[in-house]
């Protein structure tokens, strides 16, 4: 009996051991997944927080133009891991809108007349990038306000907009800016054109919640918006000039953007070459070392310089 008990006790308990080993492996796997997600979240928080200023604070536009595509694809890869990270959605969406504007549409506007086909290709690409950015921003708003995205795309968003507060302004601004830019760049897309009112309502909400946001960034948008639209669609020189004055006031005159915007939106339309020169020369005199807007300052001043160098393309000068 004694030998039998010893024999029995010597038989390995494979069931128990397999269970124990399984639990050990599971804990290692879960721990590994948790560490991986923690690392991903740390990177995301860095990229979508103060780390984003590595672009806006740079003084080399070409370097940023070359780097942004890779960065945007990296953001999209990270979003595959954390699709509801509002900060990353904001950074990705606004990044696509800025890239489309500064490095695709703006260069297309400088092409010679004999490069018309290339201009069309670049503007078509800019439109796609604007909408890509807009969609990420809609997703970001959706995280905070469930149901917003489908309602925005179908045109019924007043109920959602009434629930917004000042914290939503950056998302609302960039969403509307990208959306309206996509509409404006392709006047032949009738279906997209019918959504202009929705995009405009989103921007209007941002303006109502905090018109001083971004040192007058929303007012700067409205300079071009009201100055370039025909009267039948809501364009108004009076409103454009009001927003110019307010943008300059809120920025303390430290941003060249408002001066460039008024020159391109109204001075050309009114064929006022003296105002055109004065506005652009003022833009070039501005010195702004704010790291949050250094890149935009350089880009705006580069545009002002190019416009002055090509002034005969816009005015009849004796």
Question: Is the CA virtual torsion 192, 197, 203, 206 positive or negative?
Answer: negative
> CB under 8 Å, gap of 24 or more: what pairs does 82-85 form?
82/40, 82/41, 82/44, 83/139, 84/143, 85/41, 85/44, 85/48
Task: Assess whether pLDDT exceeds 80 at residue 16.
Answer: no
Distance CA(139)–CA(137), nearest Å, equals: 5
Domain ranges (residues) in the chain: 82-210, 236-311
Torsion of the alpha carbons at 162, 165, 166 and 170, rounded to the nearest 10: -70
pLDDT tens digits along 261-294: 999 999 999 999 999 999 999 999 999 778 778 8
Q: What CATH homologous superfamily does 82-210 map to?
A: TRAP transporter T-component (1.25.40.920)
What does the pLDDT read at residue 47?
A: 55
pLDDT tens digits along 169-203: 999 999 999 999 999 999 999 999 999 999 999 99
What Rg value do the Cα atoms of the chain yield, rounded? 27
The torsion angles phi and psi of 270, rounded to 5 degrees, stand at: -85, 0
Task: Assess whether pLDDT exceeds 60 at residue 20.
Answer: no
Question: What's this model's pTM, rounded to 2 decimal places?
Answer: 0.85
Percent of the chain clearing pLDDT 90 (strictly above): 74
Distance CA(100)–CA(132), nearest Å, equals: 10
Mean of all residue pLDDT scores within the chain: 87
Largest CA distance in the chain: 121
Cβ distance 139 to 149 under 8 Å?
yes
pLDDT tens digits along 73-104: 999 999 998 999 999 999 999 999 999 999 99
The first and second tokens of residue 154, run together, are 């179908």
């Amino acid at each position: 009996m004694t030998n039998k008990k010893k024999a029995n006790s010597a038989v390995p308990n494979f069931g128990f051991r397999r269970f124990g080993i399984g639990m050990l492996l599971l804990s290692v796997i879960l721990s590994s997944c948790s560490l991986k997600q923690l690392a991903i979240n740390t990177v995301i928080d860095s990229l979508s927080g103060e780390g984003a200023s590595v672009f806006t604070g740079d003084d080399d536009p070409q370097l940023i133009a070359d780097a942004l595509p890779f960065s945007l694809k990296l953001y999209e890869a990270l979003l595959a891991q954390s699709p509801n990270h509002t900060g990353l959605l904001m950074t990705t969406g606004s990044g696509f809108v800025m890239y489309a504007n500064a490095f695709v549409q703006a260069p297309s506007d400088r092409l010679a007349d004999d490069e018309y086909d290339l201009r069309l290709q670049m503007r078509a690409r800019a439109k796609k990038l604007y909408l890509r950015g807009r969609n990420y921003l809609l997703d970001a708003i959706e995280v905070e306000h469930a149901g917003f995205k489908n309602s925005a795309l179908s045109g019924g968003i007043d109920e959602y907009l009434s629930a917004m507060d000042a914290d939503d302004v950056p998302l609302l601004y960039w969403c509307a800016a990208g959306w309206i830019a996509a509409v404006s760049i392709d006047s032949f897309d009738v279906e997209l054109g019918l959504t202009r009112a929705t995009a405009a309502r989103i921007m209007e909400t941002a303006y109502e919640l905090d018109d001083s946001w971004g040192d007058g960034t929303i007012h700067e948008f409205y300079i071009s918006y009201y100055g370039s639209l025909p009267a039948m669609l809501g364009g108004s020189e009076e409103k454009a000039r009001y927003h110019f004055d307010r943008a300059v006031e809120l920025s303390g005159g430290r941003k060249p953007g408002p001066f460039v915007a008024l020159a391109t939106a109204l001075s050309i339309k009114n064929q006022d070459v003296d105002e055109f020169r004065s506005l652009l020369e003022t833009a070039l005199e501005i010195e702004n070392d704010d790291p949050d807007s250094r890149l935009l300052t350089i880009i705006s001043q580069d545009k002002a310089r190019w416009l002055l160098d090509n002034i005969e393309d816009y005015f009849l000068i004796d």
